[in-house]
Structure 1
Amino acid sequence: MASTFELRRAVEHAPWSATAWRDTTFVASGVPLHFVGWTVLTAIWWVWQPVNATPIMIAVLVPCAAFLGLIRPLTRAQRERCWAMLGIDIPPLRFDGRSLPDLRSVALWRQVRYHLVSGPLVACGGLLLIGLWAGGLALALNTTYAWALPQSSVLSLTAHAIRAGFLTVIGVLFLVAAPWAATGLRKWDARSARALLGPDRADELERRVEDLAEKRASVVDAADLERRRIERDLHDGAQQRLVSLAMNLGLARETLKDVPDDAMQVIVEAHEEAKEALTELRDLIRGLHPAVLEDRGLDAALSGIAARVPLPVRLHVDVPRRASSTVEAVAYFVVSEALTNVVKHARASKVDVTVDRVGDVLKVVVCDDGAGGADPAGGSGLAGLTRRVSSVDGTFRITSPAGGPTTITVELPCAL
């Protein structure tokens, strides 16, 4: 296996192989691009040698400004070269869309390092590689033209046959070494381009986090839209049919007097079942997405919740600007679930609910005077509230010492 692998590598790096010429072409194509930076910085000194402080500053600052103005086109050209010749995709940097480069940006100085240090070194290696190919070809083929040279020439075949043969061997060795040198320079250039022209790992992670946050927000919004669609379908479809059924059964219950008792009992039971099903369906619809929340906002929706709680609820809502429908839905369900928990577990005598918008934060506070000891890990619905709040990057805090009171504080970002 090892010998087969070594043989395959040798064939791939043969002077006539496609790999050798691809690597050589890639390295050679980068030579003029790699020298652009230093050409811009030093060209003015070729024609002008200032001696005073002001001209010297001009001769230094103007080329530097020109180089910074060219750094993005140079970087794009290097990215295109890597993609076109090697299939290497180097993502753009975060500041590529800005009008001016940020001199404090670490990414900018990584590009400067590539164009002024790593790239020119690769270019020097590229010039040596071109010389290696050219010299190797000239020396390897010297016997084909050495016979025509005068005897005084060091390459004369008739006067220096041994030397000519030795130079032929050297030329062949150059041709054998050139593909390996081209591969090494290609790897060096590609590795430097990836590391210095593209985003670093921290930028990639930040970009990934932002992408995931956007996708999660899209999923949350889509789920909220789907809940509203289901709520409308149930409200306009199944609920209306149940209302009609309950009305018809109620009408039959009131008007049919001459039916047998068994039949009337069936009608009565069906009427009661229809009313119970209608009540359950309304609760389900309200739990999906209450229509009043979308139509009239948090104040009206939370007032409806407070009115159904069998405890005194003091409600204060101050939201001068409405948040997004997703954030309002989260706030609504936080209050709804919190009040449900109070009724079921807290043994409280009153509840205070405060909803305020301060800047771009919607703050929800639910406080009761119950027994306390609420634990999100206890399966009381608090864990679900935590997940729901986290879905919109909100914060959830609960303070519930033994003996009470219990205070739930939720902050939801609602930037426009």
Structure 2
Amino acid sequence: MRALWAGETWRSLMHLVTGSLIGALGGILIGVLLVPAFAAFLTVVVPVLVLGAILLVSSVLTVVQRSRHSAYLGVRWPDTSFTKPAAFELRAVLDFLRNPRTWRQFAYHVISGVYGPLAGFFAVAAWTFGPAMLFSPLFGATTTGLSPRHWILFALGVIVTFGAPWITRLFSWVDELMARQLLGTNRVEELQTRVTDLAASRDSTVDAADAERRRIERDLHDGAQQRLTSLAMNLGIARATLTDLPEDASRALAQAHEESKQVLTDLRDLVRGLHPAVLEDRGLDAALSAVAARSPVPVRVKVDMDRRAPRDVEGVAYFVVSEALTNAARHSDAQHAAVEVQLDGERLRLKVTDDGRGGADPEAGTGLKGLADRVRSVDGTFHLTSPLGGPTTIEAELPCAS
């Protein structure tokens, strides 16, 4: 009984009524456009403009039909579940034509041109003829007299009237099922969309982390580093001028001066590790040369780049080389190391080699796992070769758009 006045029932009825009108209109438009297309085909002339008009009408109908399903049935559609040419270019149009979603949507509108009017007719008929048959005994009593036929019509009217909500919902459910399959996305397309969203999210996270490192580097350089420099200078002046202090006080002052200079050196190394200014100003070649100059292991650097790489790629390359040389100095007892960097088309190739004792393990906590994660953050590849006895070779390839 409640189904007779339930909101879902009447939303389904409105869905079918509007669907019959839109489906009939779409079917007529597509049919009218198909006539000259077939006529041109018989004359061996491909009607490109007619085909484009048909697909354009299909795209517009897709938007309308999806809005109808969302309004009356609450269907949620992903943003990429209908297609349209991105621009009036031959390549974009060809991609549009090759897209399976284009033809699935077109198939729905062709089916809807028949199913929509039929479903709307049967739903409206159930709601009109059912209640009308309930008045059959009353009509018979006032005209020709009651007969079994009037009571049979009355019984059918009761059945049809109480079945009208379920007839309506059934037709609406079938239409929704077809729309989800033809106007929506399949599993593969959903996964592709998910991958695209995750890649965009990852890129924004990498950019945010890089911006935060820059902010910290700037704050440390302009704040704490300047104060420590001033403190070290004042302690140096005091140490040079206060020569008549007791031995203990003089020793404490000298120790404070040396500690302040060491802290300042450590802070400069920290700032350089967060975001080296030379990398921003002069590029990867100069930054890697500076890393090699600071390394306690003699390093041969060869950089072959005819242009600057993207900023995030340069940052990853810098930290890979820097960490690899640090590991060579601290853990491998290497005597020599070599760094080779080559920009080949859209790939930036890195190779860091040392003649240490080898046996490097990414799970041993030497930062190699972090390097691999950094490289993967920009869709690069990371490969480590480190047999016992050496040598150790780290190779990475980073995508670099030209």
**TM-score of the aligned structures, taking structure 2 as reference length:** 0.90
Amino acid of the residue matched to residue 103 of structure 1? Answer: L
Instruction: Give the SS at the match of 1:103.
Output: helix
Distance 2:48 2:379 in 1: 46
Distance 2:248 2:262 in 1: 21
Distance 2:265 2:17 in 1: 79
Shift of 1:225: 1.1
Instruction: Give the SS at the match of 2:97.
Output: coil
* Cross-structure match for 1:81: 68
Shift of 1:298: 1.1
Cα-to-partner distance string for 1:287-313 (whole Å, 9 max, x where unaligned)? 111111111111111111101112221
The correspondence of residues 213-224 of structure 1 with structure 2, limited to 5 A, is 213-224=199-210
* Cross-structure match for 1:5: none
Shift of 1:334: 0.5
Aligned counterpart in structure 2 of residue 334 of structure 1, from 301, 320, 330? 320
Shift of 1:132: 2.0
Q: 1:43 to 1:316 in 2, by over 3 A?
A: closer
Query: Does the 8 Å CA contact 2:108/2:183 hold for their aligned counterparts?
Result: yes
Amino acid of the residue matched to residue 84 of structure 2? Answer: D
The correspondence of residues 102-141 of structure 1 with structure 2, limited to 5 A, is 102-117=96-111, 120-141=114-135
Distance 1:94 1:367 in 2: 51
How many residues in Structure 1 have an aligned counterpart in Structure 2? 394
Distance 2:137 2:45 in 1: 56
Distance 2:321 2:378 in 1: 16
Distance 1:144 1:32 in 2: 35
Amino acid of the residue matched to residue 309 of structure 2? Answer: A
Amino acid of the residue matched to residue 105 of structure 1? Answer: N
Distance 1:44 1:84 in 2: 29
Q: 1:326 to 1:66 in 2, by over 3 A?
A: closer
Q: 1:164 to 1:286 in 2, by over 3 A?
A: same
Q: 1:394 to 1:59 in 2, by over 3 A?
A: closer
Instruction: Give the SS at the match of 2:83.
Output: helix
Q: 1:93 to 1:353 in 2, by over 3 A?
A: same
Shift of 1:188: 1.3
* Cross-structure match for 1:348: 334
Query: Does the 8 Å CA contact 2:140/2:147 hold for their aligned counterparts?
Result: no
Shift of 1:344: 1.7
Distance 2:380 2:300 in 1: 24
Instruction: Give the SS at the match of 1:253.
Output: helix
Instruction: Give the SS at the match of 2:398.
Output: strand
Amino acid of the residue matched to residue 98 of structure 1? Answer: A
Q: 1:30 to 1:59 in 2, by over 3 A?
A: farther
2:69 pairs with 1:95: no
The correspondence of residues 17-32 of structure 1 with structure 2, limited to 5 A, is 17-32=6-21
* Cross-structure match for 1:39: 28
Shift of 1:44: 7.8
Query: Does the 8 Å CA contact 2:353/2:391 hold for their aligned counterparts?
Result: yes
Distance 1:335 1:53 in 2: 67
**TM-score of the aligned structures, taking structure 1 as reference length:** 0.87
Moved more, 95-104 or 398-407: 95-104
Cα-to-partner distance string for 1:115-162 (whole Å, 9 max, x where unaligned)? 22366335423322222222112211234444555xxxxxx4x1x433
Distance 2:193 2:399 in 1: 20
Aligned counterpart in structure 1 of residue 387 of structure 2, from 401, 405, 409? 401
Cα-to-partner distance string for 1:230-285 (whole Å, 9 max, x where unaligned)? 11111111111111111111111112111222221111111111111111111111
The correspondence of residues 58-73 of structure 1 with structure 2, limited to 5 A, is 66-73=53-60
Distance 1:134 1:261 in 2: 111
Q: 1:378 to 1:59 in 2, by over 3 A?
A: closer
Instruction: Give the SS at the match of 1:242.
Output: helix
- Between structure 1 and structure 2, the one with the greater Rg is 1
* Cross-structure match for 2:185: 199
* Cross-structure match for 1:7: none
State percent identity of aligned pairs: 48
Instruction: Give the SS at the match of 1:35.
Output: helix
* Cross-structure match for 2:90: none
* Cross-structure match for 1:313: 299
Query: Does the 8 Å CA contact 2:82/2:102 hold for their aligned counterparts?
Result: no
Q: 1:67 to 1:36 in 2, by over 3 A?
A: farther
Q: 1:415 to 1:253 in 2, by over 3 A?
A: same
Cα-to-partner distance string for 1:1-48 (whole Å, 9 max, x where unaligned)? xxxxxxxxx52x22x33332221111121012223444235458999x
Cα-to-partner distance string for 1:155-196 (whole Å, 9 max, x where unaligned)? x4x1x4332122112112111111101111111111221221
Query: Does the 8 Å CA contact 2:359/2:387 hold for their aligned counterparts?
Result: yes
Q: 1:356 to 1:43 in 2, by over 3 A?
A: closer
Distance 1:147 1:58 in 2: 68
The unaligned stretches of length 5 or more in structure 2 are 88-92
